[in-house]
Structure 1
Amino acid sequence: MRDVPVPALARRCALLCGVLVLLTSCGWGTGEDGDTGGLPAVPTGITAKAGSATTVHVMWNAVDDVETYEVYRGGTLVKEVPASERMVDVTRLRPSTAYAFTVRARDADGRLGPRSQEVRATTPAAVADASAPTRPGDVRGRAVDSRAVQLTWSAAEDDREVVSYDVYQGDAKVHSVGGEQTAAVVTGLRPGTRYAFTVRARDAADNVSPAGTAVRLTTPGSDDGRTTAPTGLRAASRLADGAYYLDLSWVPPRTDGPVTEYQIHLDGRAATSLVYGADAPRDRAEYSFYTGREAGVTHRVRIRARLADGTWGGFSAERKVTTGAG
């Protein structure tokens, strides 16, 4: 093989990769050590399972410090979900068709990370079916560890075929497995927390069964709430138009994704809820609410966040503030 001068090799590599390469070979995506050059990390653990003849359920592991995930079918962006979610149903697909999916993470600065590993799923054939499967039976569960539980059930029956099983935590769908499976592991839970899970069967025509018997489990361990509590809570009284308002600011807890809902407790009772949309603050949040027209009233206030698993996190430190003081 003929030797190629180093400058010429560098020029060829730059042309092939579209970037200047210095003291390294042409590369794409992450480096050997997983470094993405400051971009969001690559989502891992991606899976894809047909949910019906026209849907595929895609799941992946959480990536730290991201704002949203983008789900691609081939090279087409088909879904964008907030960082608090790590699964999505891709709908309006064709029956009896093979699809490939990837996921990318986008951070708060708009930077898009590399694509995940590609996974494939094939939708089953379409059928004329108006009958839902029977409910899954003998649903049982056990805690695997402080942050995961395993659920098992007996197979549901359908006049055609059960294509998938959906696992719900309360009213929220949190997992999905293929119709040939009768077990699932649900992760991302909190220690020392009580959960309720149900399972539903789905056929190719998207008919969904009634829920199986609810399984209630408590994860082992203890959670003092400190890791999930808002920090740096500040509270001050403000007079405006003859009435006093309480101005709050705090640092959101560091969770799998942005916190979009908070509950504010005033004088030991839940006073109000605060729900953000897609622009939930990540660095410092602020909120102001009416407390009355009387001066010299001392209030106690604290706040907690609703976490990605649907449970409430720990309370922040309590602050005392007196209307009209200071």
Structure 2
Amino acid sequence: MRLTATTANGLANIDYVDFQVAAPAGTAYQAEDATVGQGTIATNHLNYTGTGFVDYTNIAGSYVEFTVSAATAGSASVALRYANGTAVDRPMDVTVNGTVVAPGVSFPATADWDTWATKTLGATLVAGTNTIRATATTAGGGPNLDKLTVGTAADTQAPTRPGTTSCTGVTEDSLTFNWGASTDNVGVAAYDLYEHGNKLGETPGTVTSKTLTGLTANTVYNLTAIARDASGNTSPASTAIDCTTLPSSDTTPPSAPSALTTSGLTANAVTLTWGAATDNKAVTTYEVRSGSTVYKTLTGTPPANTTTLTGLACNSPYTLTVVAKDQAGNSSAPSNAVTFTTPTCTSDGGVPSSISTLSSGWTIPWGTYWMPDSSSALATERDSFKVFKVTPAGARTQVGTVPNVVTTDGEGGLLGVAVDPNWSSNHYVYFMHTASEGNRIARMTYDGTTLTGYKILLQGIKKNRYHNGGRLLFGPDGYLYASTGEAQTPALAQDKTSLNGKILRLTTAGQPAPGNPFGTYVYSYGHRNPQGLAFDRNGRLWEAEFGDSKFDELNLIKPGANYGWPTCEGTCSTSGMTNPKKTWTVSEASPSGIAIVRNVIYMASLRGERLWQIPISGDTENVGTPAAYYVGTYGRLRTVTKVPGQDALWLSTTNCDNNGNEAAGSDKIFKVAIK
């Protein structure tokens, strides 16, 4: 690619070039030249190609049939360019050589009859002449059809799952991770290596081992490999393996940091300064602690010996120390302690004032959603697939189990739940869960006592061991919003034709909601693993999202916006990408659910083991200084839900998951009062 100046002024300053490599154009067949059954050739709308388009007759069975040629037998892409100026989907059956290959294909509304969209399918053609027919299946007939384009099908076949995993050459600070080779119809391009969902590195597709260095002694590393081909298709994660580094030969801890002092105390922050520790090799880490809870970690060789600790809760007492660590993981004695109380602060929405146990005996409660009449809430358990009714007093009763759910030995299973705003008349509830082929959104009937029925509304959302998203929420517009992860395949987040790495918006019948920015299910894109959704008093959608290794995000979601992953993690300056409103390091947050009380966002944090309070600045698009509550007190906090009609929250833990490692039944739901 070359950009050449054509005048004496030369080129403009160029920051970067963003381009996409297009698939081969394929062969176009105009609808007006095809065989039309119960339809007319029309020209009364704009932006069609060729000499016209086909206006289907408004009856079931009207069709357009194309005769196409293929030089060789094999897979092909079949793209239908259409317009649908109504508010109602016009589904069609697509047949190839008389066999239905895609039943009930959705052709949802476009902005108007002058706006065209493309629906692309896969099909297998024979060498020579083929017929491809699109037949309306409802009384509304089909959409207006402009043309059919037949091209070489993209590679959509994923590599097989990597084989047996093992660890060899284990030392105190390194190990070699090995896995069995995957196979692929085209070829494995690379292997991506993960530790508990965070990417550690990659290898070429011809290499099935990697030596990992810079590890901490006597530490368990949970490792998986994922195969990837040149088209970006990824395999399921390999079997996970726990590998433990050897105890360190260096048993000498650093000296204790000295003379810890405070300065610059505000309602939410304080500056700490201390005398540097010494070590027989090198100090590599300082941890700011309250007891065993780590508030902040500083690294380097040597790390800085001053820091501003932010995110403190207002009007709260703190006692802090600093501990030094070396590369072997040896910890010093704590420094002298400093004790202080942050000043009182005010917030448009209040602050947590009390917390009490509402319900106990849970095992990984994931989603919570109140009934429209506020009489009770529904709660899901991720790994048991059970659904419970929970009363305002905390009594719980199992009302059913969602069928067809599978786990991923990671973050998949039974995830979000939502109750139809019109539940009193239709009794519908909705679930997002992992199934055999991927993640699904399904609908069931709930009569207040028992769950029955099961209907798939949307599938084709790819799954993996981690990054499955899973939150469901009804918006003030009456449509269902869903968060999806990128299934450990970062490229999917930027692919607007993929359902992964997105916020989706759909009708209660499972169709793309009218007004969606791309005429599909996609509402926003460029997400890694979003799990928090909440609407504020102005009807704006906020979202919390897991980062990889640097920054977690709080985003204000706007239709059609690109939130950056994998190009951006946190704030960046890339044109066309929307920056978060606030970021945290992954050790401080790793957020899941969010809720809004009055004008304050509350964000539950897993790895950070705290509840973040983030005030929205009036009715602007900005937020104020976050404050952290319950740091390290209750463990991994998963879901936070506003109690209807009260300034209060329900807050659930998932300490029984594979990162918390607590015994089954150890999780709880707390009630938090906001004053």
Q: Same fold (TM over 0.5)?
A: no
Which structure would you say has the larger RCO, counting Cα contacts within 8 Å and 6 or more residues apart?
A: 1
Larger-gyration structure (1/2)? 2
TM-score range, shorter chain: 0.3 to 0.5
TM-score with structure 2 length normalisation?
A: 0.22
TM-score with structure 1 length normalisation?
A: 0.41
